[in-house]
Every structure is written in structure tokens, then in C-alpha cells.
Structure 1
Amino acid sequence: MQREPFGSLPDGRGVERYVLRSGDLEVAVLTYGAVLQSVRAPDAQGAVADVALGYDDLAGYLGDSTYVGAVVGRFANRIAGGRFVLDDAEHVLPQNHGTSCLHGGPEGFHTRLWSGREVPGGVELTLTSPDGDMGFPGALTATVRYVLDDEGLTLTYGATTDRATVVNLTNHAYWNLAGGGSIEDHVLELPAERFVAVDDRLIPTELSPVTGTPLDFRSPTRVGDRLREATAQLRYAQGYDHAWVLDGEGLRRAARVTDPVSGRVLEVLTDQPSVQFYSGNFLDGSVVGRGGRAYRQGDGLCLETQHLPDSPNRPDFPSTTLRPGQTYATRTTFRFGTTGRPALEPASG
């Protein structure tokens, strides 16, 4: 464990960076936005590269509009109309993505300074969100614990409230297992029979079978193979930006990604009901990332383990309501490895 300063906010509060190491893996976490700032992992030949998009300094994160590496909340993904009703009371939220509230609003948890403390194998970050914060009811205390060990990088989320509210936390890391270039040659597997179909506002309409659609990743499939198919779902999202519904309960595989050139492999395990696969469609080169590189469409992909979008307005979806006396608790593990021998060149197509 290494703890070091990472700049100061405009109001003078200092941001800290925690560096975790286990074997040949190195992970860095910031107290600003509970950001996963860096993940350095070896390829099949032992060469180490950063496989998570990020910024070299705090200014990059303060100017970011794409949630790079951040923990988003109080409610990840979209809430339609920026409103929901809980216990017969309507709560109005900011509309920061069309008419929807996205990732907790413009001043969500990704913009907050969390407090950090060392724990065995990692760091625990804590944030207190007051009653009425971004329109959400209840004073909420949220925690996220990053632990790096032989099992991989595990994120454990927790929250308690003094008033009924809704909670849906996730990490918005952008992965690129090649350490650069496009993720279209990455090979993705999502063991899900259904996905959440959306309208042109990316609001859920129904749960649909993946069979016969470009959203069928039950067998390992190159990300770019069907990315530009002329289907309504891909047009609405300008690519992939959908929730895949995970069967079963408890910690189970949500996704597996392989880069055929480097041989790096990422497995995602979670106890959440879904994983949101986002192919980096809205990266437009307007922000400059690590090493002075402008992040453009397809430079990274996200695998956000979470509850289904717009759940507060959908009683047919698993509940995201948290009440006083209850504890929100969920866990996601990212496991890193290699195929043992990389391909000589990217897959064609």
C-alpha cells in the first residue's frame, strides 16, 4: 500500500491516491469520485501496461464528462423523466441526459471528495450524501472498498439511510486490455439470455431475448463484428449501451473479455442483477487522457455491474429501494489473467 497526494480541489481540499499491489498487478484509487485511476497488468509475455483509461492529473478528472473510472451514484444509469415516486411521494431529480437523470445527476458521487482509510489489502472510501442531494431523499452514507489480492480486484459497496430512498452504485471504468487502440478487436462473452431493450432516449421498454440479435454474446464474439448493424437498438445507443440480465443469484460470472493480441483476459463476477456493456460510443476526443492521448469512440469499453436502469419507475424490475435499518451491500470482482499465448495480429473484420 502506498498513499500519496494527487492535487487539490479548487476549494483547497486535498485529493489522495492509494496504490495497491498484489503479485504483478498494480491498482491506483483516488479519493476524488472514488475513481479507479489506474490498473497495470501484464500481457502473455509479461509486458505491463495500463488497461484502464484515466488521466495523469486531477485536472483531467475535474474536466471529465464521461465518468472515467468513477463510482457513480446515488443511482447509476438512467431514471426516466428525472423523477420517481416512492411511498406516494414524488421526487424530482436533475435532467442531465436529455430528459433523464443519468448517474445521479450532474453533481453525483463522481464529483465528490470521499474520505479514505486503509483496510487489509486495500482502501475503503466513505461519502455522506445529505437528504435532498440531487433530489434524492434521505441522508445516505455510502462506502466502497477496493481490495486487491490473489482473487483479483474486488469492489464491495455498502450504504445506509435515515429515510427511504433508492440506491444503485457501480464503477464506470473504461477497459482496454491492449493498453491502447480500439477495443473493437476485443472478444466479449456475456452469459445472458436477455437484455433490456430501450427507446430512443435509452429508457427501458421491455426485457428481450438476445437470440437472433447483435446483442447475443453468449458465445465469445469480437466486439466490432456487429457494432454497425442497422438495428434500432444499436442506432439508439450509437453502439452498445445496454443492460444484460444475469440469471442466478450470488457471485457469478457477468462477462469475460479477451484481447487476442496481448493475450490479456478480464473476467467480471458480480452478485448484481445485470451488467451494462457500453462500447464507449460517446467518447468524442474532447478530453485528453493519460499520456496526452485524446479519448475517441471505441477507445475503451465499460462493464458496469448494477441494477436495471429506471428501476425506481419499474415495479417489474428488482427493487432498488433502501429503507432505514437496511444495509445496501453488493460485490463485484475483476479478475485479470492471460490466455498463455497471444495471437500474432488482431482479428480481421
Structure 2
Amino acid sequence: MNTVTKLKTVLHQNKEVILLRLTNSTGAYIEVTNYGATITAIVVPDKDGNYANIVLHYDSLEEYFTDPYYIGCTIGRYANRISNAQFTLDKNTYSLDKNDGIHSIHGGFSGLNKKVFDYKIWKEKIVFSLFSPHGEGGFPGNLNINVIYSFSNENVLNIEYKSISDKKTPINLTNHTYFNLAATKAPCLNCELQIDALMYLEMNDGFLPTGSILETTDSAFDFNHFKVIEDTIYPKKDAMKGYNTFFLQNKKTPKPIASLREKKSGRTLDVYTSMPGVLLYTGGYLSIPFIPFSGICFEAQYHPDGLNYPHFDTCILEPDVERNDIIEYKFG
């Protein structure tokens, strides 16, 4: 039987921020906070049975309030960048927060990563709930969001997103956990990575899609077989520090969209999602108190800047129709 324990409570802007631990029958556990519906710990064993936290994290809840790296949090209303901080929907143009130069990123200044969610324990799951009013960040619609965490006895972490709006509106939610399977603070580019993707989005130096969808085969973006990440970075021949690349899921196979393995610890991670792809971010722009490349993100989501490219896959909520999406992390 799984157990949920309340570990700590602090006040932030006169709201209660809590830290919860969800432990499965094997002794492995996750810790999450209602601030940003954020994952602060995933503690699973290595090949010798030693338990350790394999995600980047802060030592206190208070440090998350000033976090600039989106450590472990829920991202939305719209993950990743929207060019020129605007989009058009049904002939109406919406102007968004410009929090990345002239662009909008991760929901703008009112992103979910800075919100204090309501919470409840339901059937051995932790449910975080939030209301985002019409116009927040520039997005249309009064939006209700649930982020539901569960952790099985097989060490599978499931995140379910439920969204419903009273107006037609885009939604693109993801999780921004940085994984380090060695459970260290050192760079983890010596991990082996596989991504089940035949296509990826070409990105410009501003981390925005150019609109071109390219083949991964025989390129520095070809992870269809396990490769050591650091062996592939330098042949990329672009200005990015590592990878910040969106891969389109190969829907013809039952494989996880991404798999990571670390030889010394023996730990493995398989990523599954209902969404069309995953953005691989290798943490090249992390800085104090972390170091570059010390964590790897698998941001399952809809196409970055998809609202401005008609041939990209976007998720538009119809009024009063609930949308469900999932991300699943399986640890071995």
C-alpha cells in the first residue's frame, strides 16, 4: 500500500506551500510540492540496492520561489517558446507576456511554475488543482487544471494532466524535471540515450523552430540506438550548448519515446507520453547552484511554437471539453 506523508509547510505570499512524500511498498518514493506542482525528489535504488535522489533539487522549499531554471516544475499554460509572444486563433490575435526577449516562454510571467496549487490526496494519488482566469498571461479562457501524481510499486511515476476551459484556448503542459541517474551534482553526459524518433524540428539560435521538420537518420540527432550523449554533441555544428531539441514520437512502435541508462549505477529511465513528442534539454545553460549538463530534461509536449505553424501539432481546447494527457517515467 502506498502512503502519503506531509513533510513540511511554509508560507509564501500568505499561501500554504507544502511538501508531500508518496512512498510505494518497496520503499522508493517521490516528493512533490504544491508550489508549481513541482517534483523535488525521486528516490529509487541503483543496481546494488542503494537509494538516492536522481533529480536536481534545492535543499529548501524557499529556494524554489526564486528558481530561474524551472527545476522539477509543471510548465504551462503553454510549454516552450511562442515566437513574438503572439498567436492567432479563429482570426483573433492574442498578445502574450514577453518574458524571453520579444518572445514568450513557458506561460509567461504568470506561468504555472510560480503558482500555489490546491491539493488533495485521492486513492493513493496526489492531486494538484489550479484555476487560471481568462486573460492571464494573455491567453483566452477561464481554465481549470489538475496535475495528478501517482507512483506504483514497480517504480513507475505517472503524471496526468486534466484541462478544461470555458473558451477555445491552446494548452500545452509538461514537466521540467532534470534527471541525473548517477545521483550526483556532476555532468551526466556520459549517460546513454535512445529516442524513438525518425523526425525532429530544426531550431534557430534563438531556440525557436524554423518550421522545417528534418530526418534524424545519420545525423547528430539520431538516437534510434543507444548512444553516449557527449559523443554526439560536438558533431551537431550549431550554436546550442548541448541539446534543446524537439523530437517527434514514432507512433508506429510501442517503444518508450526516450530511454536513458547510466552504467555505473545501473539505473535506467523510460519515458512514455500521450503527447506528440519530447523536447530533449541537456541542461547546458544551468548555473549556480547547479552546473551545466548536470541534469537532463525530457519535456513531453506538443510542438514548440506550434500555434504559429499550421503544419505543427497543437492542442486547442474546445469549450467545456476536458483534455487528458499523460507523462510516465519508468525507473529500473
> Does TM, scored on the shorter chain, surpass 0.5?
yes
**Stretches of structure 1 lacking an aligned partner (at least 5 in a row):** 286-293, 338-349
State the TM-score, normalizing by the size of structure 1: 0.90
- Correspondence for 2:193: 188
CA-to-partner distance for each residue in 1:158-182, whole Å, 9 max, x for gaps?
1000111100000000000000121
The alpha-carbon deviation at position 315 of structure 1 amounts to: 1.3
| Counterpart for residue 327 of structure 1 | 322
Cα deviation, residue 68, structure 1: 0.2
- 1:76 partner SS: coil
- 2:104 aligned with 1:115, yes or no? no
Contact 2:19 2:33 in 1 (8 A): yes
Q: Does 1:170 align with 2:174?
A: yes
1:317 CA displacement: 1.2
Q: Do the aligned residues in 1 keep the contact of 2:175 with 2:299 (CA within 8 Å)? A: yes
Aligned to 2:64: 61
Distance in 1, matches of 2:69 and 2:318, equals 30
Residue of structure 1 aligned with 2:183, choices 179, 182, 204: 179
CA shift, 1:99, in A, is 2.1
In 1, Cα distance between equivalents of 2:331 and 2:89: 40
1:55 Cα deviation from its structure 2 partner: 1.0
- Give the Cα separation in 2 of the matches to 1:271 and 1:249: 13
8 Å CA contact retained: 1:123, 1:147 = yes
CA distance in 2, matches of 1:102, 1:249: 31
Name the residue aligned to 2:16.
Answer: 14
Per-residue deviation, 1:103: 0.4
Unpaired segments ≥5 residues, structure 2: none
Which residue identity does 2:330 align to in structure 1? Answer: R
User: 2:28 maps to which residue?
Assistant: 25
Which residues in structure 2 correspond to 1:96-115 (within 5 Å)? 96-115=99-118
SS in 1 for 2:197: coil
SS at match of 2:110: coil
Cα deviation, residue 6, structure 1: 3.2
- Distance across 1 between alignment mates of 2:171 and 2:71: 20
Equivalent residues of 2:38, 2:72 under 8 A apart: yes
CA distance in 2, matches of 1:33, 1:295: 20
Q: Is contact 1:98–1:201 with CA below 8 Å preserved after alignment? A: no
Aligned-partner residue type, residue 158 of structure 2: T
2:252 equivalent to 1:256: no
Matching residue within 177, 198, 206 for 1:201: 206
Identical pairs, percent:
29
**Take 2:38 and 2:312, find their aligned partners in 1: how far apart are those partners?**
28
Preserved contact between residue 220 and residue 236 of structure 2 (Cα < 8 Å): no
2:80 to 57, 60, 77: 77
Distance 1:16 1:251, change over 3 A: farther
How far off its partner does 1:230 sit? 5.3
What does 1:80-159 correspond to in 2, within 5 Å?
Answer: 80-151=83-154, 152-159=156-163
Distance 1:137 1:228 in 2: 42
For the 8 Å contact 2:303–2:314, the answer to whether it is kept is: no
Amino acid paired to 1:216: D
Structure 1 252/117 Cα, relative in aligned 2: closer, same or farther at 3 Å?
farther
Asked if 2 retains the 8 angstrom alpha-carbon contact of 1:82 and 1:100, the reply is yes
**Quick check: 1:172–1:302 contact (8 Å CA) kept in 2?**
yes
Q: Secondary structure at the match of 2:145?
A: strand
CA displacement at 1:250 relative to structure 2: 10
Change (3 A) 1:19 1:301: same
Match of 1:223 among 226, 229, 232: 229
User: Deviation of residue 193 (structure 1)?
Assistant: 0.5
In 1: Cα distance, 2:254 partner to 2:319 partner: 25
Q: Letter of the aligned partner of 1:321 in structure 2?
A: I
Aligned residues: 325
Q: Describe the superposition over 1:311-333 as per-residue Cα deviations: whole angstroms up to 9, x where unpaired.
A: 11111112321121221210111
